[in-house]
């Protein structure tokens, strides 16, 4: 599907910059078929955000769950995100939620709801892993898993912005390790 990015303006959501013709061409269908299958541009955009979020949270959860300690899980999740965010051919990808949807959310209440849902699901994925660490005794967590989950997700979102801003990969790896250690330390109480 066509990218929904673009320069945008201060009154028009970014997705509005993508023409229906471009969407039809990318999907390989004509306008009536596109409307019948997916609805209008806003519906397509919202479905895309929902699909992106479901996949991203599933990958994040699997990555977090694959590591034996909280710190290792956080480092692994941040490394996985950096690999994805920096994988663009000419311009780093960043994150749909942080790099694109956040802009459109300020101008469209339905997109704002979708953006909040993306943030909430990411927070919950991190909080679930922190709860597991507490339950498993790694570490003897005293801090609130939802609060630390939100903090861990904030680091993830910061990485997306920093990649787009051109910060070096080595610097971001050091930053993510430092943040993982700090969050794991806070979980210990």
- Sign of the torsion formed by the C-alpha atoms of 170, 102, 12 and 2: positive
pLDDT of residue 61: 97
- Whether 148 is in a domain gets the answer yes
Q: What is the pTM assigned to this prediction?
A: 0.76
Contact of 172 with 158, CB cutoff 8 Å: no
Q: How does pLDDT run across 100-123, given as a tens digit for each residue?
A: 787 888 788 898 888 888 888 999
- Whether 19 is in a domain gets the answer no
d(CA 186, CA 168): 27
| Residue 140 pLDDT exceeds 60 | no
Q: How does pLDDT run across 7-20, given as a tens digit for each residue?
A: 333 445 566 677 88
Domain hosting 121: range is 42-188
Which CATH number covers residue 109?
1.10.357.10
- Whether 113 is in a domain gets the answer yes
- Whether 34 is in a domain gets the answer no
- Whether 142 is in a domain gets the answer yes
Q: How does pLDDT run across 51-100, given as a tens digit for each residue?
A: 999 999 999 999 999 999 888 999 999 999 988 888 767 777 777 877 77
pLDDT band at 189 (very low <50, low <70, confident <90, very high): low
- Whether 180 is in a domain gets the answer yes
Count of domains observed in the chain: 1
pLDDT of residue 67: 94
- Whether 35 is in a domain gets the answer no
């Amino acid at each position: 599907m066509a990218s929904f990015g673009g320069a945008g303006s201060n009154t028009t959501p970014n997705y509005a910059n993508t023409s229906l013709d471009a969407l039809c061409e990318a999907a390989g269908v004509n306008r009536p078929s596109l409307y019948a299958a997916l609805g209008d541009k806003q519906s397509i955009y919202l479905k895309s955000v929902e699909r992106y979020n479901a996949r991203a949270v599933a990958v994040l959860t699997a990555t977090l769950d694959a590591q034996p300690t909280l710190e290792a899980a956080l480092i692994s999740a941040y490394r996985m995100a950096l690999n994805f965010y920096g994988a663009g051919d000419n311009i780093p990808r960043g994150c749909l939620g942080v790099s694109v949807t956040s802009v459109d959310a300020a101008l469209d209440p339905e997109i704002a709801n979708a953006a909040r849902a993306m943030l909430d699901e990411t927070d919950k994925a991190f909080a679930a892993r922190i709860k597991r660490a507490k339950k498993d005794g790694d570490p003897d967590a005293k801090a609130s898993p939802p609060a630390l989950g939100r903090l861990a997700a904030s680091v993830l979102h910061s990485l997306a912005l920093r990649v787009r801003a051109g910060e070096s990969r080595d610097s971001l790896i050091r930053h993510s390790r430092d943040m993982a250690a700090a969050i794991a330390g806070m979980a210990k109480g």
